[in-house]
A and B are shown apart, each in its own frame.
Chain A
């Protein structure tokens, strides 16, 4: 398994501002993922972040809105840009560890946009 931390754990932001969420893993991993969980909903993959290459975004998500950095094998950031109330969600990072595609998740960042 992996120990994953996220910062901040929660935040309340104003419309039009941006928030950067950090994800730190206790071991080197190739693949990191960012998910969004809207209120009362399930998880949706935003993008896959591999070290040394640009993130790969899923349909409905664009780099201008959700820029991602992956400077090394233990760290990634997701920025939610020009926020609106519709961006209020829990944002979770995950990593794939070991053989067999097990994915482990961080504790999430609960974002509220006013």
Chain B
């Protein structure tokens, strides 16, 4: 089954606006991680939220996790042109090999100056 499916697939906003991306998954997880990728380069780790956490903040990032709905959201506040990138969520399945990450297809965020 497909884990970590993001929506929307693409999002275009103006600088200064907030951007919200969502991620859904299908099986129980230990953790959910969000990553950023600029123009097909390496992934930058943004934040990890554990299954027993509901919300986490890091700078302009706010991540929520709803395990009952098997979904997470990433909010970027006061966006900047430099935030233009693809954003991926990645989940690890609880039990067994929980280090294996399954990635969603990503959301392409474009922040227009």
Contact = CB atoms under 8 A, between A and B. Distances in A.
B30 interface: yes
Contact of B99 (A31, A41, A92, A107): A31
Nearest to B6: A42
Interface stretch (B40-48, B62-70, B75-83): B40-48
B25 interface: no
Nearest to A39: B40
Interface residues of B, number: 25
A1 interface: yes
B41 to A, nearest CB: 6
Contacts of A92: 42-43
Contacts of B33: 102-103
A37 B39 CA distance: 12
Nearest to A30: B99
20 contacts: A31-B99, A41-B105, A42-B105, A43-B43, A43-B88, A43-B90, A48-B100, A94-B43, A96-B99, A100-B48, A100-B50, A101-B30, A101-B31, A101-B48, A102-B33, A103-B99, A105-B44, A107-B41, A107-B42, A108-B40
Interface of A: 1, 4, 6, 31, 33, 37, 41-45, 48, 58, 90, 92, 94, 96, 100-108, 110
